[in-house]
Structure 1
Amino acid sequence: MRISTDALHPLHLAALLATLWLTACGGLPERTDYAAAAKADVAGVSAWSALDVGTPSAHLDELIRSPELDALVAEALTANPDLQQTLLTLEILRAEQRRTGAARLPSLEAGLAGDKGEDAGTSYTGSLTLGWELDLWRKLSDEYRAAGLDVAEQQALYESARDTLAAEVMQTWLGLIADWHAVAIERRRLATLAKNEQFIIQRYRNGLGTLEDLASARTSTASSRANLESYEESLAQHERQLRGLLGRTDAAPIATLADYPEVGLPLAEMPAQTLARRPDLRAAYLAIEAADLRTSVAYKDLLPRIDLQAALTDVARSPGEALLSDPVWSLLAQLTAPLYQGGRLRAAVEVAKLKTAQAYQAYRETLVDAVTQVGDALGQERSLAKQQTHITTALAAARNNLAQYQRSYRTGLVDILDLLSVQQSTYDLEAQLDELRFQRLDNRIALGLALGLGVSE
């Protein structure tokens, strides 16, 4: 219905607003406070078994002190296309928020129309209309706040993407060093096997060896060459993977180190402090708040609304005189209330409530993943440290054993199969130890990411 300004006596308007307020209060039922439930879930996380040692670190890239790696991380944060798409999504949501905020402000429209009659000639009607929806129930404010939470959520997701990308660059860079080590170990193995093969051939020519010894040596040599090809291709694939993270399309060489750098062990703090730092968990919580506000907006769409409109019109003989000669003012207030729309608004309320519940479950999933990641990384640090100690002891013993077998073989006390077996075991342990070193350093980066350490600006 439409109400003229004469009818809006102050007492009448006050009574009307009071009626609408009571209607609104009765039309907004209680809703589940999922945000409070999310906070309770975090408070209920049990303290994980922290490591005995650890270095306090503010940022993920502080775990490795390497100018070469710092340059690669900076390049990836600037040129990675996936990260740039995430940043553009953030800018789009900021523009969406500005558009949503414009609905709270008055709108002003100007119009000019011409009417040509048979006798009176052409007349021009100019108009200037000011429209404004009164935000009685703060519905428009809730929409604007929800859009602001969307921006904050995307900002947190962008930070999470930055941190994840930096960790992937760091881990892939360490993986290149591990690949180079694997290639170097296999080349030394191959050189040893080739030397053994030549030695066996010489013994065979001198009548001291057998064809079985020669076949065994050649089998081991061929197998090592196949492994070397595999390791070299793995190295090339990881180089291409790192170039992809950097956003490169060329084949320019990537600077690495000859040996593993020192990787700090991040300090595992209490769950509340750790989880509060994780941007993905913060984004999931903001999604709950935004969905809850949109549920409120859906409820308020069921309530009456008041629109005010002020218009200035004038009719003149020329366009230049329109709105300048003798304009007429009019002021209207319009009260509208939804009566029947086939259940569309009620269905919208139900959809909004379900989306809020869905956002809460997504938060719980993120929380469970975060707790699992921290627990796995802490457990891996302990396990890999023990494995590294055991394999180091085993390798030292294997090298002593290999030296004894080499002396025994030269004097004819053992055959070639025994020597080859001990050589293979020694090289296998050396490769296993290097792989454990890489896994432990790689896991420390994963632990830092799980603990919410972000990359520095």
Structure 2
Amino acid sequence: MINKPFRCVVLFCISVTLIACSSTQQRIDYANLAQQELDNTEVQANQWQSLNLAGEISYLTDLIQSDELDMLIKEALSANPSLQKTALTLQASLWELKKSHGANLPSVDASFDVNEEQDSDTNYAAKINISWELDLWQKLANAESASAKSLASDEALFQSSQDTLVANVMKTWLSLTSKQHAIEIESKRLSLLEANEQLIVKRFKSGLNNLEALDEARTSTSQSRANLAQYRENLEIQKRELQTLLGRNTPLEIAAQQDYPEVSYSLTGLPEQNLQRRPDLKSAYLTIEAADLNTQVAYKDMLPSISLSAALSDAAQSPRMALFTSPIWSLAAKLTQPLYQGGQLKAAAEVAKLQTAQAFQAYRDTLLTAVNEVEDALGQEKVLQQRLKHIRNALQSSRNNLTQYQTKYRNGLAELSDLISAQTTMFDLEAQLDELIYEHLANRITLGLALGLGVKPE
């Protein structure tokens, strides 16, 4: 017959267990809500096919075919300090998972004691203790699963860091060509301005031009020299930026490409992916799952726990005799039910719930950012195509106009100031067109990154 005090203890443990279980059931399934958010998110897929982009592309590195760029990307992935820091964080997460896995396994401790008292013989004691907590409520399993989700989240973040690094290397490499072209265009402008200045000086000495025209010519020439100096420094800045991305501490010796490479790709199949290729979204979703598992662990901390232990011990008056020559073994089982800890367990469970809710909101923020990045890149793609078309037409008209003014000037039918104005317009349009070409190519990389095109795994 079970005595009354023991029966009361059992009933109390059962009631506390039921309360904790009911609290566990009140959790909101944020992971399912996150999936619904993703399913309800619609990026205008019809825009993706309207870009008329050719070529089948799976990774960012497929956008540009260049052996030199491939070598730079490989160097950046292996030496960039920021990426290496993220890789170390990933290794730490792996060890955290191994630590959580170890909590599911029995623990074994060994001890050897020496006790010496005055007027007494020295005593030696050896003991081996094995303990194991029974995972009745799958609390330890949930903790291990949470660590596994956190590791997977960190792996996705590492992938995102790789993708961003490669995109930056590609854009900076393209920018070298853009900066070199700016130098070349400004150099041609400066040469023509210097020739115009010399011509105006001769005309001024001959009384054919006034002082204002000469000052205006010198102003334009000096301004062009200043711009050229800045463009040259801009090129060096881009080289230093690329050097930093590569993780180098020595000057980068690299020549800019004479012409832009072709950057084109197809978005075939990506509408069905619905942004799920983006590693930052994967990471945010896995963070929700990890937080949800940690919430379950926090609630299960309120439940009773059972632990088993076995010990093998021996004591003697010499170290050798104490090493289990006549050991004594013992077995024990312990039932522990938290009763009162000042509300710490309840507070920990509520904090875990709020952290899961925060993870869900962080996922929504990441999803909205992803959609916005795609839409912005798509909008820029269309606008840049239109601007390129119009600027090319404008440049062709400007060149035709310049040819006409040159003919008229030689025939004495146009003023020198009109010819210089036509020349200035042409050089401005050339510089604008080249900058637009770079922006268009860089935006292709931005769009690929936004759609989840990443680095090909090795």
Task: Determine the C-alpha separation between the residues in 2 that align with 1:81 and 1:155.
Answer: 17
Q: 1:30-429 counterparts in 2 under 5 A?
A: 30-48=26-44, 49-52=47-50, 53-54=52-53, 55-118=55-118, 120-267=120-267, 269-429=269-429
> Quick one: which amino acid aligns to residue 339 of structure 1?
L
Q: Give the deviation of 1:383 after TM superposition.
A: 0.8
Q: Name the residue aligned to 1:5.
A: none
Listed one character per residue, the Cα deviations across residues 339-366 of structure 1 (whole Å, up to 9, x for unaligned) are: 1111111111111000000001111111
> Quick one: which amino acid aligns to residue 415 of structure 1?
E
Task: Determine the C-alpha separation between the residues in 2 that align with 1:251 and 1:31.
Answer: 56
Asked if 2 retains the 8 angstrom alpha-carbon contact of 1:213 and 1:416, the reply is no
Task: Determine the C-alpha separation between the residues in 1 that align with 2:361 and 2:15.
Answer: 38
Distance 1:411 1:213, change over 3 A: farther
- The unaligned stretches of length 5 or more in structure 2 are 1-9
SS in 1 for 2:365: helix
Task: Determine the C-alpha separation between the residues in 1 that align with 2:19 and 2:384.
Answer: 65
Normalising by structure 1, we get a TM-score of: 0.93
Task: Determine the C-alpha separation between the residues in 2 that align with 1:449 and 1:102.
Answer: 39
Asked if 1 retains the 8 angstrom alpha-carbon contact of 2:42 and 2:274, the reply is no
Task: Determine the C-alpha separation between the residues in 2 that align with 1:234 and 1:268.
Answer: 37
Asked if 1 retains the 8 angstrom alpha-carbon contact of 2:17 and 2:302, the reply is no
Distance 1:254 1:19, change over 3 A: same
> Quick one: which amino acid aligns to residue 293 of structure 1?
L
Q: Give the deviation of 1:115 after TM superposition.
A: 2.4
SS in 2 for 1:125: strand
Task: Determine the C-alpha separation between the residues in 2 that align with 1:134 and 1:351.
Answer: 26
Q: Give the deviation of 1:316 after TM superposition.
A: 1.1
Q: Name the residue aligned to 2:450.
A: 450
Task: Determine the C-alpha separation between the residues in 1 that align with 2:84 and 2:407.
Answer: 62
Asked if 2 retains the 8 angstrom alpha-carbon contact of 1:38 and 1:364, the reply is yes
Task: Determine the C-alpha separation between the residues in 1 that align with 2:74 and 2:255.
Answer: 14
> Quick one: which amino acid aligns to residue 349 of structure 1?
A
> Quick one: which amino acid aligns to residue 299 of structure 1?
Y
> Quick one: which amino acid aligns to residue 292 of structure 1?
D
Q: Name the residue aligned to 1:3.
A: none
Task: Determine the C-alpha separation between the residues in 1 that align with 2:69 and 2:22.
Answer: 61
Task: Determine the C-alpha separation between the residues in 2 that align with 1:32 and 1:317.
Answer: 62
Task: Determine the C-alpha separation between the residues in 2 that align with 1:356 and 1:445.
Answer: 34
Q: Give the deviation of 1:163 after TM superposition.
A: 0.6
> Quick one: which amino acid aligns to residue 37 of structure 2?
D
Cα RMSD over matched residues?
Answer: 2.1
Task: Determine the C-alpha separation between the residues in 2 that align with 1:393 and 1:401.
Answer: 12
> Quick one: which amino acid aligns to residue 295 of structure 1?
T
Asked if 2 retains the 8 angstrom alpha-carbon contact of 1:150 and 1:290, the reply is yes
Task: Determine the C-alpha separation between the residues in 2 that align with 1:405 and 1:450.
Answer: 47
Task: Determine the C-alpha separation between the residues in 2 that align with 1:415 and 1:320.
Answer: 114
Asked if 1 retains the 8 angstrom alpha-carbon contact of 2:169 and 2:245, the reply is yes
Asked if 2 retains the 8 angstrom alpha-carbon contact of 1:268 and 1:451, the reply is no
Q: Give the deviation of 1:62 after TM superposition.
A: 0.5
Task: Determine the C-alpha separation between the residues in 1 that align with 2:235 and 2:441.
Answer: 18
Normalising by structure 2, we get a TM-score of: 0.93
Q: Give the deviation of 1:237 after TM superposition.
A: 0.8
Q: Give the deviation of 1:206 after TM superposition.
A: 2.8
Task: Determine the C-alpha separation between the residues in 2 that align with 1:294 and 1:119.
Answer: 56
Listed one character per residue, the Cα deviations across residues 15-55 of structure 1 (whole Å, up to 9, x for unaligned) are: 99988975653452321111111111111112412232233
> Quick one: which amino acid aligns to residue 150 of structure 1?
S
Q: Give the deviation of 1:447 after TM superposition.
A: 0.7
Distance 1:333 1:19, change over 3 A: farther
> Quick one: which amino acid aligns to residue 130 of structure 1?
I
Asked if 2 retains the 8 angstrom alpha-carbon contact of 1:190 and 1:221, the reply is yes
